Amino acid sequence: MSSTAAAGSGATSPPARRIPALPLAVGLAAALLLSLLCGVALGASGIGLPRVLRLLAAGLTGGRLEAEEAAAYAIVWEIRLPRAVLAAVVGAGLAATGVAVQALVRNALADPFVLGISSGAAVGANAVLLLGAFASLGVWAISASAFGSALVAMVLVYLAARTAYGLTPLRLVLTGTALSYGFSAVTALMVFAAARGEAARDAMMWLLGSLGGATWGSVPIAAATVLAGLAYLACAAGRLDALAMGDETAASLGVDPDRLRRELFVVTAAVTGTVVAVSGAIGFVGLMVPHLARMLVGAGHRRVLLVAPLAGALLLVWVDIVSRTLLAPAELPVGVVTAVLGVPCFLLLMRRRGYSFGGR
């Protein structure tokens, strides 16, 4: 063997051993169920796990409780359980759309917010928090306004990025980034002009992500949208693999890349707009979790989409636990915790020898 050949062979690290996706998914699902119980048990007012199990069983079966258990029952069923469930739903949605957006724009640095949808949602949410818009909708005002403005942002990005040749990855990224700056400027102007300091604080809390307003009313719509998005992506996994290899290769395999991008754009925008409307702008989950899933199970989208939503749900449940217990009774924004935990982890992942986008 020549020295040149030897150098070339030494420069390429052997492929990493992959974990079978199905057993990993089962393990993540079991860990998620246990984490949900921990999310209900842990908090400013500690409730032991045996007591949590007893209260949950009483709620499910209609069992009788002592009068002194009423307060703990309300904390478990009306505050902590919907919050833990919503954290899992939002984490799964962000992770799945992260996988889809990275395939959509063929960019390893893309996440669900690169299309400007979250910045658009922030305009609507802050219009309620700072200006009192849509007050007639009551508790639904923030979610409805955020989702409506996210849809408007989606339409604007689509119209600006569309050409006679369809949607291209570069135009989508550039258009989404440019409009995101514009929406952020509008939000900053509203915060700056806010007459009440407390309203500005609430707005900043929402912008950094918070699950403090979780109720059972906010769970069904978010869960249904995320499940529908996951179902679509699971069915489109083969086409996503083709799209990741480039437009010409995808077309040779019978996949229409322009049509697939339009579908992915609508699905990711709908899921992102829905989860942002109920949780605020929680960053980093959609960027980090897809890469972690690829490292564990490989680049195939069918395997990645089996693992990534469960990993994202598990991550956000524990991030929420940290956010409300670390400085209890004060609460940290969830987005701050995801960044503090995620940045060093992501840098370590990227430093692994031989890793590149696609899990090789």
Percent of the chain with pLDDT over 70: 91
75 alpha-carbon distance from chain centroid: 26
Residues of the chain with pLDDT under 70: 1-17, 139, 195-198, 349-350, 352-360
User: What domains sit in the chain, N to C, each tagged with a CATH number?
Assistant: 20-29+81-351 (1.10.3470.10)
H-type helices in 106-218, by residue range?
117-131, 141-161, 169-192, 197-207
- pLDDT at residue 195, as a whole number: 63
Long-range interactions of 265-268: CB distance < 8 A, separation 24+? 265/104, 265/115, 265/154, 265/158, 265/167, 265/172, 266/154, 267/97, 267/100, 267/229, 267/232, 267/233, 268/97, 268/100, 268/101, 268/104, 268/112, 268/115, 268/117, 268/229
- pLDDT at residue 4, as a whole number: 41
For 39-62, what is the HEC assignment? HHHCCCCCCCHHHHHHHHHHHHHC
| First-to-final CA distance of the chain | 25
285 CB-contact burial (10 Å; exposed 0-12 / middle 13-18 / buried 19+): buried
Check if the beta carbon of residue 221 is closer than 8 Å to that of residue 274. Answer: yes
- pLDDT at residue 196, as a whole number: 64
pTM to 2 decimals?
Answer: 0.86
- pLDDT at residue 144, as a whole number: 83
